[in-house]
Amino acid sequence: MTTTTPDHVDSERPHEGTDPGRGLRAVRVKVEPWDLEVGPISHLVAERERLASCRYDGFSVAPMSATIGGEITGLDLRNALDPELVAELRRALLDFKVLFFRDQPLSGRQHVEFAQNFGTLEVHPFLPANGELPELVRFEKHAEIGGYENGWHSDVSWRVAPSMGAILHAIEIPHVGGDTLFSDMYAAYDGLDDDLKARLEGLEAVHDFTRAFGRSMDAQARAEMLEKFPPTPHPVIRTHEETGKKLIYVNRFFCDHIVGLERDESDALIDLLSKKAEIVEYQCRFTWEQDSIAFWDNRAVQHYASSDYWPDRRVMERASIEGVVPR
C-alpha cells in the first residue's frame, strides 16, 4: 500500500521483517490515493482512561469500547428507582453516552415508568405506537416491512427541541442479526483538524422531517405536518448542555442543507461530517438478546440499526425523552 510519510518517525529506518507501524509513534497515516487513514487514534486515550476509573453507587458498569458504551449490572428496572439511583444512572449516561441492560422483562407500562424518571416523554407524530401506550414507538419488522434505520442518525433532529435520550427494549429478536451500533460524536468532533473546526464555528444546518418521512405522505398531509414541524436550523457543532463538550450534530437522514453555503459545498460538508460516525474506533456494537435494553444520549451519539435479518421478525419498543433546543 502507498502511504504518505508522517512528519516524525524514528531516525532508525525500519528493516525487513519489522512491523510497518514501527517508528510511527501513533500518528494516523493516509493511504493514497484513497480517502482512507489508518493507525491509532490517539485522542481517545484520555477518555478511555477516564471511563476505566468511573464508579457508581448501586450498580456496576463494564466499558464496551474505548469511549462509548457501558453494560450495567446489578439493577432490576421493573422496580421503582429512588432519586439517588436515578441521578447515578444519569451520571453514567453522560459518561458512557449509551447504557445497556440485560434480562429486563419490562411490561410496556414499566418501560414508560422507567423512562419517565429522566423527563417528559415524547409522542412521535409519524411512527406507529404501542397500541395502549402512545409514548412507546413500536418497530415491528418482518418479511413485508423491512428495516430502513440502517444509516447513521440522531433521532428526531428535525424537532425544534430534539429528544434528550431514548430507551429501546427488545420485545422479539431474530435468531441472528439486527445489532445496533452507536458512534461517539464527541470523539468525532475531537478528531477534526483545527482548520475544519474553525470553518464550522457558527454554521447551522436545516433539519427537515420530509427527507425521511415525507415520501410516504401525499401533498396535503405533508403540508399539514410541515405546519406543525417546519424545517428547523440547528448548530452544525452542538455544545452538550450538561457536559459542556462539543460534538458533530449533522446526519444524512434529516439534514437538508447548511445555511449560507452553495448546495454543492453544503452537500459535501454534510457528507464529510456524517462520515465521521463511520469510524469504527468511535463506535460500540450491541447484540440484542430477549429483553435487552439500550438507553442512549441522543445528543451525544448517533446510531445505526443493522438491517441484516430480513425476512425474519424483529420487534422493538422505544420511549424517547424530551430535550432542549440545541445550542
Say how far apart CA 38 and CA 24 lie, in whole Å: 11
pLDDT (mean) for 188-203: 98
More confident residue, 3 or 174: 174
The pLDDT of residue 274 is: 98
More confident residue, 212 or 102: 102
List 111, 124, 153, 207, catalytic entry: 153
Active site residue 103: no
The pLDDT of residue 215 is: 82
The pLDDT of residue 292 is: 98
| Residue in 207, 203, 211, 251 with CA at minimum distance from that of residue 230 | 207
User: Does residue 303 sit in helix, strand or coil?
Assistant: strand
Average pLDDT over the chain reads 93
Q: What's the pLDDT tens digit per position in 29-44? A: 899 999 899 999 999 9
Cell of 145: 416491512
More confident residue, 179 or 27: 179
pLDDT category at 17 given cuts 50, 70, 90 is: low
What is the percent of the chain where pLDDT is above 90?
87
The pLDDT of residue 9 is: 45
Q: What's the pLDDT tens digit per position in 216-264? A: 899 999 999 999 999 999 999 999 999 999 999 999 999 999 999 999 9
Evaluate if residue 187 carries a pLDDT over 50: yes
Say how far apart CA 255 and CA 274 lie, in whole Å: 10
Say how far apart CA 119 and CA 164 lie, in whole Å: 9
pLDDT (mean) for 158-183: 98
More confident residue, 215 or 325: 325
Write the DSSP string, 119-139: SPBP--SSS-B-SS-TTEEEE
Tell me how far CA of residue 238 lies from CA of 55, 189, 197, 242, 250, in angstroms: 28, 10, 12, 12, 9
The pLDDT of residue 248 is: 98
Q: What's the pLDDT tens digit per position in 50-92? A: 999 999 999 999 999 999 999 999 999 999 999 999 999 999 9
The pLDDT of residue 5 is: 44
Active site residue 142: no
The pLDDT of residue 1 is: 36
What is the percent of the chain where pLDDT is above 70?
93
Q: What's the pLDDT tens digit per position in 301-319? A: 999 999 999 999 999 999 9
Active site residue 257: no
List 155, 190, 208, 297, catalytic entry: 155
The pLDDT of residue 299 is: 98
Active site residue 271: no
Q: In the chain, what are the domains? A: 43-174+288-298+310-321 (3.60.130.10), 184-277 (no CATH)
Alpha helices (H) in the chain, listed in sequence order: 45-52, 83-96, 108-116, 185-190, 194-200, 210-213, 219-228, 263-275
Parallel, antiparallel or unpaired: strands 70-73 and 98-101: parallel
The pLDDT of residue 6 is: 47
pLDDT category at 11 given cuts 50, 70, 90 is: very low
Query: For the stretch 101-124, what's the b/e string if a residue is b when 16 or more beta carbons lie within 10 angstroms of its beta carbon?
Result: beebebebebbbbbbebbeebbeb
Exposed / middle / buried, residue 234 (Cβ in 10 Å: 0-12, 13-18, 19+): buried
HSE-CB at 27 with a 13 A cutoff on CA atoms is: 16
pLDDT (mean) for 262-282: 98
Evaluate if residue 27 carries a pLDDT over 90: no
